[in-house]
Amino acid sequence: MSLPSRIILSGFMGTGKTTVGKLLARKLDYDFVDTDDLVVSLSQKPIARIFAEEGEEMFRRWESMAIDQALAREATVIAVGGGAVCFRDNLDKIRKNGQLVLLKAQIPTLLKRLSADDSRPLLQGEDKEGQIREILAKRASAYSRISLQIPTDNQSPEAVVEEILRVLPLESRALRVELGERSYPLYFQKNGIESLNLLLQRHCPAERVVLVTNSVVQRLHGAKIARHLKRQHDLKTIVLPDGESFKTLKTVASVYAKLVEFKVDRKTPLIALGGGVIGDLVGFAAASFLRGIPFVQIPTTLLAQVDSSIGGKTGVDLPQGKNLVGAFYQPRFVLIDEAFLKTLKRREFVCGLAEVIKYAAIFDAKLFRGLEEHMEAILKGKGAGLEPVIRRCCELKAWVVERDEKETLGLRAKLNFGHTLGHAIESLTRYKKYTHGEAIAMGMVYAARRSVERAGLPEADVERLKALIARAGLPTEMPAFPKAAYRKALMQDKKRVSSRLHFVYLNKIGKSVVIPTPLDEILV
Ligand SMILES: NC(=O)c1ccc[n+]([C@@H]2O[C@H](COP(=O)([O-])OP(=O)(O)OC[C@H]3O[C@@H](n4cnc5c(N)ncnc54)[C@H](O)[C@@H]3O)[C@@H](O)[C@H]2O)c1
């Protein structure tokens, strides 16, 4: 079990930071330090006196220094006051240097634990309940940004320690998509299915869960997941036919019918197990059924792991075009397990690699160099050891989604690099000849060529991109349809604004720009 070297426990007074912290430290053979004790030793004054003589602001300065001291230690459990984590700079340095755990308790529990305690400078006077409510209300928004929260009501300190140790290995490696109250974690774990019950319990507790997958994934992975889920849940399963051609309103209607039959209520989570098709469709069903029920993504293709499972775009196709109906609806969590990739057909794996190359080309020159160095090993491993690459793509996607969730600011639009022509190719070949990844691979090479003139991309970078795409086993040259046919296909682009398209260009490998461009300047 790999644990962070510094585990920082925070929480309101009375949540048990010190007791739990000492127990946890003993169990892990870590040191324990309480930043309140460091404040006393730094200031040479008891905390009550600092408050009385210097005021709370000065106390916060001492506390910040104490946090710096504590974070300089290794293998240490650090108890930090519940007010400290409400300050951005404290929170930033804590997150950078360790794993933060917030202990929680309901107000009656806090009152019971604090009623006889008169040593708290922030809780003086008769109306303790009123004061607790007031302070909690002030801290609510800061606390809501802490992902790992452990309830302590009716729990012994030993049980709280056990719970921390159960979730810490997963949480300490999780990434978080920060979207206020719609924030959610991305968990990375090989054979992570074994943690699914625990994660469901933490993020969407319910007796009944509905697993939605397709016939291919069900055959390969369904039984194992069902066995695990059944240990703690009343499991219902929906198996849909495989393929993009079933990403339709008709299939969504069939899902609704099953959900009614299963007596699904507003708390029942839908678990989307599959590639982008299942993720998009189940997400849309979850967004719309009962006006929104919880949903969880377990992406099983590379494309879904690096792209479609993150960011909340859900939807289905219409006969008139792809993804024309949908909603922005974020999952409760995403569980990413590279082990699924083992059973993926090579062509589907490579399709996902096209998206990985896309992230590198538009945002991350270092990732691009890494892919150049290791492409053959990546192809050979088919997922094995790919987690750092997947993780980096997820970081980039999360970063984009946090800043431009609904694609209104032009940043999320950069993820469409290669997609304008890619979509045109898919539509001209009726979605049969090429996978999505193959189509965007050709689209990326085309966009890179256009970038030389429009965005100053060096010719050498076009060649690097083309070479990497070819080494991944993806095509680089667009099929030879007449220009008029491409023009017609581009006119159907969802992102068209009058006769201009928001076209994504590269300035250099790792840097991109969106320029509204007339159709005739795209198709030269
Ligand atoms: N929501 C978004 O932000 C977003 C982004 C990109 C793409 N998409 C959508 O994603 C879809 C494409 O996703 P995709 O490429 O994952 O396609 P997909 O879901 O059709 O999966 C590809 C194939 O792989 C099979 N498969 C899935 N997991 C497997 C596994 N572990 N082992 C063996 N076979 C497995 C599937 O059954 C399918 O046949 C498109 O509908 C696209 O519109 C959505």
pLDDT of 116 strictly over 80: no
Q: How far apart are the CA of 281 and the centre of ligand 1, in A?
A: 11
Q: How far apart are the CA of 516 and the centre of ligand 1, in A?
A: 29
Instruction: State the pLDDT confidence band at 94, using cuts at 50, 70 and 90.
Output: very high
Q: How far apart are the CA of 517 and the centre of ligand 1, in A?
A: 30
Mean pLDDT in residue range 322-343 = 95
For residue 437, which atom of ligand 1 is closest to its CA?
15
Nearest Cα residue to atom 10 of ligand 1? 276
DSSP 3-state of 239:
strand
Instruction: Give a three-class secondary structure readout of 366-427.
Output: HHHHHHHHHHHHHHHHCCCCCHHHHHHHHHHHHHHHHHCCCCCCCCHHHHHCCHHHHHHHHH
Mean pLDDT in residue range 93-121 = 87
Ligand 1 site, residue 340, Cβ cutoff 6 A: yes
Which residue, among 260, 194, 262, has the nearest Cα to 229 in the 3D structure? 194
Ligand 1 site, residue 334, Cβ cutoff 6 A: no
Mutate to test the pocket of ligand 1, among 190, 301, 338, 431 (most ligand atoms within 8 A of CB): 301
pLDDT of 497 strictly over 70: no
- Average pLDDT, rounded, for the chain: 94
Ligand 1 site, residue 311, Cβ cutoff 6 A: yes
For residue 221, which atom of ligand 1 is closest to its CA?
31
pTM as predicted: 0.87
Ligand 1 site, residue 244, Cβ cutoff 6 A: yes
Q: Would you give the DSSP letter of residue 179? A: B
Ligand 1 site, residue 420, Cβ cutoff 6 A: no
Contact 475, 441 (CB under 8 A): yes
Mean pLDDT in residue range 395-423 = 95
pLDDT of 498 strictly over 70: no
Instruction: State the pLDDT confidence band at 479, using cuts at 50, 70 and 90.
Output: very high
Sign of CA pseudo-dihedral 64, 69, 70, 73: positive
Ligand 1 site, residue 331, Cβ cutoff 6 A: no
Instruction: State the pLDDT confidence band at 399, using cuts at 50, 70 and 90.
Output: very high
Segment 17-59, tens digit of pLDDT: 999 999 999 999 999 999 999 999 999 999 999 999 999 999 9
Tokens 């023009």 correspond to what residue?
487
The pLDDT score that the predictor gives to residue 181 is 86
The pLDDT score that the predictor gives to residue 1 is 56
For residue 307, which atom of ligand 1 is closest to its CA?
5
Polymer length of the chain: 524
The pLDDT score that the predictor gives to residue 443 is 98
Tell me the C-alpha distance between 426 and 423, whole Å: 5
Contact 420, 523 (CB under 8 A): no
Amino acid letter, residue 164: I
Q: How far apart are the CA of 444 and the centre of ligand 1, in A?
A: 20
Instruction: State the pLDDT confidence band at 334, using cuts at 50, 70 and 90.
Output: very high
Instruction: State the pLDDT confidence band at 118, using cuts at 50, 70 and 90.
Output: low
The pLDDT score that the predictor gives to residue 115 is 75
Nearest Cα residue to atom 11 of ligand 1? 276
The structure tokens listed for 326 are 């949908």
The structure tokens listed for 462 are 């076009």
Which residue, among 144, 457, 188, has the nearest Cα to 310 in the 3D structure? 188
Instruction: State the pLDDT confidence band at 302, using cuts at 50, 70 and 90.
Output: very high
Amino acid letter, residue 334: V
The pLDDT score that the predictor gives to residue 127 is 78
Tell me the C-alpha distance between 396 and 412, whole Å: 10
Tell me the C-alpha distance between 329 and 65, whole Å: 41
The structure tokens listed for 170 are 């997963």
Ligand 1 site, residue 276, Cβ cutoff 6 A: yes
Mean pLDDT in residue range 199-206 = 93
Q: How far apart are the CA of 13 and the centre of ligand 1, in A?
A: 47
- Dihedral pair phi/psi, residue 43, rounded to 5°: -90, -15
Q: How far is CA 240 from CA 134, 245, 272, 393, 445, in A?
A: 50, 11, 11, 28, 35
Name the strands in the sheet holding 76-79, side by side, starting at the edge strand that comes first in the sequence: 31-34, 76-79, 6-11, 99-104, 149-151
Amino acid letter, residue 6: R
The pLDDT score that the predictor gives to residue 147 is 83
Ligand 1 site, residue 412, Cβ cutoff 6 A: no
pLDDT of 16 strictly over 90: yes
Mutate to test the pocket of ligand 1, among 214, 335, 348 (most ligand atoms within 8 A of CB): 348
pLDDT of 506 strictly over 80: yes
Contact 309, 162 (CB under 8 A): no
Sign of CA pseudo-dihedral 304, 307, 309, 314: negative
For residue 277, which atom of ligand 1 is closest to its CA?
19
Give the active site residues: 291, 313, 355, 397, 407, 412, 416, 419, 423, 436
Ligand 1 site, residue 213, Cβ cutoff 6 A: no
Segment 158-167, tens digit of pLDDT: 999 999 998 9
Nearest Cα residue to atom 18 of ligand 1? 275
Ligand 1 site, residue 248, Cβ cutoff 6 A: no
Nearest Cα residue to atom 44 of ligand 1? 308
Ligand 1 site, residue 323, Cβ cutoff 6 A: yes
Q: Would you give the DSSP letter of residue 5? A: S
- Dihedral pair phi/psi, residue 115, rounded to 5°: -60, -35
Mutate to test the pocket of ligand 1, among 308, 335, 346, 382 (most ligand atoms within 8 A of CB): 308
The pLDDT score that the predictor gives to residue 503 is 95
Contact 338, 298 (CB under 8 A): no
Q: Would you give the DSSP letter of residue 242? A: P
Ligand 1 site, residue 309, Cβ cutoff 6 A: no
The H-assigned helical ranges of 262-386 are 276-288, 302-303, 346-363, 365-381
- Dihedral pair phi/psi, residue 384, rounded to 5°: -60, 125
pLDDT of 263 strictly over 60: yes
- Dihedral pair phi/psi, residue 401, rounded to 5°: -65, -40
Nearest Cα residue to atom 13 of ligand 1? 276
Tell me the C-alpha distance between 491 and 471, whole Å: 32
The pLDDT score that the predictor gives to residue 234 is 98
Mutate to test the pocket of ligand 1, among 277, 297, 342 (most ligand atoms within 8 A of CB): 277
Phi-psi region of 67 (alpha: psi -120 to 50; beta: other; left: phi over 0): alpha
Instruction: State the pLDDT confidence band at 123, using cuts at 50, 70 and 90.
Output: low
Tell me the C-alpha distance between 465 and 455, whole Å: 15
Ligand 1 site, residue 220, Cβ cutoff 6 A: yes
Tell me the C-alpha distance between 28 and 169, whole Å: 13
Tell me the C-alpha distance between 310 and 307, whole Å: 6
Half-sphere exposure of 344 (CA within 13 A, CB side): 29
Instruction: State the pLDDT confidence band at 121, using cuts at 50, 70 and 90.
Output: low
